[in-house]
Homo-oligomer: A and B are copies of this chain.
């Protein structure tokens, strides 16, 4: 994490780490005056607290590498089996993210420097159906069909998801390897979405990362604890994850001149400022007209369509997008896009209205195609078993304990 050594923090304060959650530290960091200097905090010292009110990997600054793995339950695995899996996965994730070797692993050398590793778990609808249907969130269902999407089954809904992120790609690969192996009696891999953003320290502090269209991506994200409480985390620390896989047609996009690209986005390419001026974080003036009386910001620009309308301020969520590139199909120049990860309390209220507005008329639609979609409930944070009451608001010692205990007895 830029500018703050979580590991040093963890080591220095031991038991208190559970209380001062990742979110608190983060907010403190992000509220500091912006610093455009380089990152000099050694990555070898960087670790993210695992236990806390909510899971890590959500308000954690995006680490360079993503392995997002969708898993389906093997035949015959019931709610009790899921609980056993969650108990062992939680324990192993707690060890890996702290740079300790999980009990079942013979490879202590591979886990020494977690490099801000986070492992975040989500439940698909089916987990509730088999384990505790009575408490299934009402928003936990497929995102409604929207115009233009071309969803492919191979990137569809799964029973479980692990979002594994690290600033070291070897650590990221190893953590996926370990978790897959640890869960092999219960689940099989359905898909793996591998993504990347800028490396730790590779862009100046305070610089919003760019996607492969050259857009800064994440400008309007929540920053303060209060914004996270409003938009992302429920009172118990749970949230939701919507995964949209979005193919981006770089070849066509790059035929546009810069002015046309900026019209499509609604922002300047160089600094991400709204076309009506100011800097990246200034509000756009949607009523501004140019010398010919035309709107400066096109009503169908990506920014204009994505903005919450005045009467729906709740249409905000956390974007945690990752780029992907794959070998191009024969005859193509590229095969690239976004693994668009959206975290919010309630997708029906916060996410889907924005998606629908975008798919209806966003100028960027000409160069983007949604090819995958899935939705997960993200269990609250956890507390280490046997520890004090610090940690998850509900005292869960493993992911989803409260939900899965409904299947007991």
Q: Which interface residue of A43, A202, A210, A327 has the most chain B CB atoms within 10 A? A: A202
A118-173 with Cβ < 8 A to chain B: 167-171, 173
Contact of A333 with B38 at beta-carbon distance under 8 Å, contacts A202-B113, A323-B170 already known: no
For the complex, is A360 an interface residue (Cβ under 8 Å from B)?
no
Whether the pair A177, B250 counts as a contact (CB closer than 8 A) is: yes
Q: In the assembly, what is the distance between CA of A188 and CA of B202, in Å? A: 30
Closest CB-CB distance, A155 to chain B, in whole Å? 11
Contact of A201 with B169 at beta-carbon distance under 8 Å, contacts A189-B327, A212-B177 already known: no
B residues within 8 A CB of A167? 199, 202
Whether the pair B331, A257 counts as a contact (CB closer than 8 A) is: no
Contact of A210 with B44 at beta-carbon distance under 8 Å, contacts A106-B254, A328-B189 already known: no
For the complex, is A209 an interface residue (Cβ under 8 Å from B)?
yes
For the complex, is A277 an interface residue (Cβ under 8 Å from B)?
no
Contact of A214 with B169 at beta-carbon distance under 8 Å, contacts A191-B327, A328-B192 already known: no
B residues within 8 A CB of A365? none
A232-256 with Cβ < 8 A to chain B: 250-251, 254
B residues within 8 A CB of A180? 328, 333-334
Whether the pair A202, B109 counts as a contact (CB closer than 8 A) is: no
Contact flags A191-222 to B (C-beta < 8 A → 1, else 0): 11010111111111000011010100000000
Closest CB-CB distance, A248 to chain B, in whole Å? 11
B residues within 8 A CB of A325? 67, 173, 176-177, 194
